[in-house]
Amino acid sequence: MDHQKKLLDAFPAVSKEEWLAKVEKDLKGRPISELDFQIDPSITLKPFYHADDAIVPNFINRDQGDNSWQIMESFDLSDANLKEYNATILAALQGGIQALHFSFSQAPHEEDWAILLEGVYLEYVSIHLYSNNATEAFKALSSLYAHAQELNVDTTTLNGSVDASFFSFFDKRLFFDYLNMGKEFFPRFQLFTAKSSNENQDVVDELLNLLQNGHQFLSTYDRFKIDLEEIAARLQFKLSLTADYFLSIAKIRAFRLLWGTVLEAYQLNASCTLLIEFDKKAYGEDPYKNMIAATTMAMSATMGGVDYLLVAPASMGTTKEVSQFERRIARNVQHLMTMEGQLNHVIDPATGSYYIEHLSNEIAEKVWSRFQQLE
């Protein structure tokens, strides 16, 4: 420590006024306010933040001992050759995937799972089910249970989630059947997923919409006289990131602060589980540029704090077929974050950054103000 103090003493502190004087000189008479920029109609940021601008840091506690997350890969089961997909899944697992994300319009049957998951040890990987139809998601969870029973696998030890609109259960009895099945046979699954329902939103509108959906979830089932502690613990949120590096970090941090405030209001001890994917518009036609974009977006996600990270292959969203090479690169981006970047060790590494702290707080305050007006 003495050596470090001597090193720091060799660099005298520079006040904010001195920095501003230097900037104004370099601008040759132009006001520094010309460099202000807007990330949202209601949020204007300065180009320069100093230690004098420091605010009390909002440390984002993730209720875990480190900053680890699960590396996820997605598989669209629509018109898929299940045997070919099984080979792709096994290759992905050998390449270090920890979470399998399956999307479908019609639920796989028990025999479909048997083909798709042949050679997969369910106890060592999390399973995530996505469908636009909540009833189909329920059927998929039921057939997955039947497949696990055939393998003598105890589903109470399995991890995963169901990504389906919880408000699409128009049949109240069906909802309670689903909830009871989850409680009895899949106690470690996130049974519900909230996401922002509108595209092309600015960051404040996006997080406001997401926060409202989460709050509506709690308030709706509170009227059903369901234990909210149980419900809140089964809820996860899905966020999409763009290539805006610092904004993406701040967006994640801001939402964790916001949802923590909602939970505190309900006097609940649940944590905030985040599944993060990439905005469809973040990729272009050039796969090599997409690989670079994937790296910065993945880094934003891990520094903001993610539980499940889905890095899209470089040609995803284009007319090209996704190759095994692109899947491998998408996986390895996350391995770089852990094995070389060590970003899985430090919780909320952005804490104390003057710029990111200001941006996180600014977003959270704007969202919360509008949320209070609407709710």
pLDDT for 310-345, tens place per residue? 999 988 766 678 889 999 999 999 999 999 989 899
Instruction: Give the structural domain span for 217.
Output: 70-374
Helix (H, G, I), strand (E, B) or coil at 37: strand
44-86 per-position pLDDT tens digit: 888 888 887 777 666 676 677 888 999 999 999 987 899 999 9
Instruction: Determine the pLDDT at residue 199.
Output: 64
**Residue 163: enclosing H or E segment and its boundaries?**
strand 160-163
263 domain residue, yes or no: yes
Helix H or strand E encompassing 129: strand 126-130
Q: With contact defined as beta carbons under 8 Å apart, do 98 and 92 qualify?
A: no
Q: For 144-169, what is each residue's pLDDT tens digit?
A: 999 999 999 999 999 999 987 655 55
Backbone φ, ψ for residue 103 (5° rounding): -110, 145
pLDDT in tens, 86-116: 999 999 999 999 999 999 999 999 999 999 9
Residues 304/347, Cβ–Cβ less than 8 Å: no
For the chain, how many structural domains are there in total? 1
- CA 22 to chain CA centroid, Å, is 40
Sequence-distant (≥ 6) Cβ neighbours of residue 53 within 8 angstroms: 16, 354, 358
In a domain, 30, yes or no: no
Task: Look at residue 121 and tell me if it is in a domain.
Answer: yes
Domain of 164, CATH number, reads 3.20.20.240
Burial 339-351, CB ≥16 within 10 A → b, else e: eeeebeeebbbbe
- Using only C-alpha atoms, the chain has a radius of gyration, in whole angstroms, of 23
Complete DSSP assignment for 325-359: HHHHHHHHHHHIIIIIT-TTTSSSTTTT-HHHHHH
The predicted pLDDT at position 103 comes to: 94
Rounded Cα gap, residues 320 and 323, in angstroms:
9
Write the burial class of residue 167 (CB in 10 Å: 0-12 exposed, 13-18 middle, 19+ buried).
Answer: middle
Is the residue at 305 inside a domain?
A: yes
In-domain check, residue 233: yes
Residue 255 within a domain: yes
Which ranges in the chain belong to alpha helices (H)?
A: 2-9, 16-26, 82-94, 110-116, 134-150, 172-185, 203-223, 228-233, 245-265, 287-304, 324-335, 354-374
Instruction: Tell me if 2 is assigned to some domain.
Output: no
103 strand-pairing partners? 76, 130
Q: Is there a domain that residue 15 lies in?
A: no
